[in-house]
Amino acid sequence: METVRVVLLGFGTVGSGVYDSILHTHQEKLEKVIGKKVEIVGILVKTEKERQLPGDVVVTTNIDEILSLPSIDYVFEAIVGIEPAYSYIKLFLDRGCHCISANKELLANRGEELSEYALERGKFLTFEAAVAGGIPLLRTIIQLLQVNGILVLEGILNGTSNYILSKMRNEKLSFEECLQEAQQLGYAEANPESDISGRDAFYKQMILSSLIYHDQPDWEKVERIGVEQVALEDLVLGEGHGLRLKLLASLRRENEGIQATVKPTFVSSEHPLYNVEGVDNGIVIKTDLVGTLMLQGPGAGSKATASAMIEDLVQIEQQKEPLQKVHRYSYQAQNEKENQQSIYLALFPLQTKEEWLSLKAVINENLNQVNILQEVVKEIDGSIFGSFLYEGALESISLPVLYKRYPVSPIGLKRGISNVVTS
Ligand code: HSE
């Protein structure tokens, strides 16, 4: 049987997951599907330590030792950050290897350039694992939606944040406890700041923007808010309104250019992403032909990433020639304007329930500024909180209490209701 020779750059959650799937859990299936034996011949590690690896695999911290291995067919790149990954990928492409990457920061920054570089050399650079973990999202866009014009893409693109928000809400745990679990489960980045600040979702969104529009918005103009300020009471109050908080990334093209935002947003039970819970990611794609599609699945973790990377290898084996850059249809999201956010949930810490009444009295004097849709007052862990769903300009009213505010997706929201739930 013919053999393909593989090296791994990086041996953290991603690299070790690929290793296990290729050599253990899915070896037989993989070989049957591609009709070749897959051998891992070298692994670039960050630090030397005791590892249970076979003696014939070169395990080293020195890239030159990996580069000097003969006849490498595939490089699985799972390093963090732009350099040295960028230089390594170019070196391996120069040597005639196909590259399969999971490096979001690199691909958001230099993906288009590296894709050109690979194409010029007739080699593949694929990166399904870099966006939405195990969900076959990129290939769906690249290969299966070529005539469909993409109008809007909205999604949950960070597994760690979704895991934290779901777990906090379901188990009434603190942000820190849930983040720690996400780290232990191998969902979070080595530096989880990237997950909780929305930066990881932003990189994925920029990769999608390059694929859909062959362009990206000005990074400075993208509103990016993470989940690090979310408190348990925000989620409990949201639940009182029938809403769940999700870190939503939205991408669309308007007159002014490509518009992208990443921010915690409440969604109602009618919203397609409401039931995307835990480490799952979910992506809603609206197109002008098929209509609305939704993809959902594990967005992080060793197996999810390994699945995406190994399926990339299979695809390359079967496809043989890389696809040339194709014209992609995308349209201005003109009819989407009315769907843009103008509804918010405002959350107030209160000393007493009476304070809520005086707050409401101030708002009632300014009903030309805001329209209250629904309100909830709740005691959570011995403290009282009030919240209301509103549309309008609350910020133009001077209120005696500091409050937090989140956008609410208007999709499926039952408007015009106004009730008080007290518990
Ligand atoms: N830390 C990332 C996440 C891993 O939580 O989504 C997958 O890209």
Same-domain status, 272 and 186: yes
Nearest Cα neighbor of 164 from 130, 201, 137, 138 is 201
Same-domain status, 109 and 219: no
- Of 195, 206, 208, 309, the residue with max ligand 1 atoms within 8 A of its CB, to mutate for a pocket test, comes to 195
**Tokens 């230089």 -> residue:** 87
Res 55: pLDDT:
84
Same-domain status, 291 and 151: yes
Pull the structure tokens for residue 298: 């594990």
Mean predicted lDDT score pLDDT of the chain: 93
204 belongs to the catalytic site: yes
Provide mean pLDDT across the span 259-284: 97
Res 422: pLDDT:
54
Same-domain status, 207 and 247: yes
Q: Whose CA is nearest to atom 7 of ligand 1?
A: 300
Same-domain status, 196 and 272: yes
Q: Which of 10-14, 252-256, 324-328, 354-358 shows the lowest per-residue confidence on average (mean pLDDT)?
A: 324-328
Res 421: pLDDT:
55
Q: Per the domain annotation, does 289 fall within a domain?
A: yes
Q: Per the domain annotation, does 317 fall within a domain?
A: no
Question: Does residue 136 have a pLDDT over 60?
Answer: yes
Same-domain status, 289 and 171: yes
Q: Per the domain annotation, does 234 fall within a domain?
A: yes
Nearest Cα neighbor of 307 from 137, 150, 156, 184 is 137
Residue 50: pLDDT band (50, 70, 90) is confident
Is the dihedral angle over the CA atoms 409, 410, 412, 413 positive or is it negative? Answer: positive
Of 127, 159, 193, the last residue of a domain is 127
The count of other CB atoms within 10 Å of the CB of residue 149 is 14
What CATH number does residue 285 fall under?
A: 3.30.360.10
Provide mean pLDDT across the span 360-388: 92
Q: Per the domain annotation, does 114 fall within a domain?
A: yes
Same-domain status, 170 and 291: yes
Res 325: pLDDT:
75
Res 54: pLDDT:
87
Which is catalytic among the residues 104, 123, 204, 246? 204
Tell me, in angstroms, the distance from the centre of ligand 1 to residue 234's CA: 23
Same-domain status, 360 and 235: no
The count of other CB atoms within 10 Å of the CB of residue 30 is 21
Q: How many domains does the chain have?
A: 3
Q: Per the domain annotation, does 137 fall within a domain?
A: no
Q: Per the domain annotation, does 320 fall within a domain?
A: no
Provide mean pLDDT across the span 136-146: 95
Provide mean pLDDT across the span 158-176: 98
Res 416: pLDDT:
56
Tell me, in angstroms, the distance from the centre of ligand 1 to residue 281's CA: 10
Same-domain status, 222 and 354: no
Atom of ligand 1 nearest to the CA of 163: 5
Domain limits for position 349: 343-408
* Residues in the ligand 1 pocket, defined by CB under 6 Å: 133, 158-160, 187-189, 195, 200, 299-300
Q: Per the domain annotation, does 211 fall within a domain?
A: yes
Cα gap 97→316, rounded to integer Å: 11
Provide mean pLDDT across the span 75-101: 97
What CATH number does residue 377 fall under?
A: 3.30.70.260
Task: Give the predicted TM-score (pTM) of the model.
Answer: 0.95
Q: Per the domain annotation, does 139 fall within a domain?
A: no
Nearest Cα neighbor of 185 from 43, 104, 305, 311 is 305
What CATH number does residue 84 fall under?
A: 3.40.50.720
Res 255: pLDDT:
84
Residue 342: pLDDT band (50, 70, 90) is confident
Cα gap 195→223, rounded to integer Å: 16
Q: Encode pLDDT of 218-270 as tens digits.
A: 999 999 999 999 999 999 999 999 999 999 999 998 888 999 999 999 999 99
Cα gap 325→73, rounded to integer Å: 23
Question: Does residue 334 have a pLDDT over 70?
Answer: no
The count of other CB atoms within 10 Å of the CB of residue 159 is 28
Of 127, 155, 186, the last residue of a domain is 127
Pull the structure tokens for residue 318: 């079967």
Question: Does residue 420 have a pLDDT over 60?
Answer: no
**Contact, 9 vs 79, CB < 8 A?**
yes
Same-domain status, 237 and 185: yes
Same-domain status, 232 and 365: no
Tell me, in angstroms, the distance from the centre of ligand 1 to residue 414's CA: 33
**Tokens 């909830």 -> residue:** 376
Provide mean pLDDT across the span 42-48: 95
Res 335: pLDDT:
56
Nearest Cα neighbor of 102 from 138, 152, 71, 59 is 138
Pull the structure tokens for residue 413: 């929201």
SS3 track for the chain: CCEEEEEEECCCHHHHHHHHHHHHHCHHHHHHHHCCEEEEEEEECCCCCCCCCCCCCEEECCHHHHHCCCCCCEEEECCCCCCCHHHHHHHHHHCCCEEEECCHHHHHHHHHHHHHHHHHCCCCEECHHHCCCCCCHHHHHHHHCCCCCEEEEEEECCHHHHHHHHHHHHHCCCHHHHHHHHHHCCCCCCCCHHHHCCHHHHHHHHHHHHHHHCCCCCHHHCEECCCCCCCHHHHHHHHHCCEEEEEEEEEEEECCEEEEEEEEEEEECCCCCCCCCCCEEEEEEEECCCCEEEEEEECCCHHHHHHHHHHHHHHHHHHCCCCCCCCCCECECHHHHHHCCCEEEEEEEECCHHHHHHHHHHHHCCCCCEEEEEEEEEEECCEEEEEEEEEECHHHCCCCCCCEEEEECCCCCCCCCCCEEEC
Cα gap 135→146, rounded to integer Å: 18
Provide mean pLDDT across the span 281-289: 95
Of 62, 96, 127, the last residue of a domain is 127
Phi then psi dihedrals of residue 93, to 5 deg: -65, -40
Question: Does residue 336 have a pLDDT over 80?
Answer: no
Res 320: pLDDT:
80
Provide mean pLDDT across the span 65-87: 97
**Contact, 225 vs 158, CB < 8 A?**
no
Cα gap 66→84, rounded to integer Å: 14
Q: Encode pLDDT of 365-377 as tens digits.
A: 998 899 999 999 9
Cα gap 135→283, rounded to integer Å: 9
Same-domain status, 165 and 289: yes
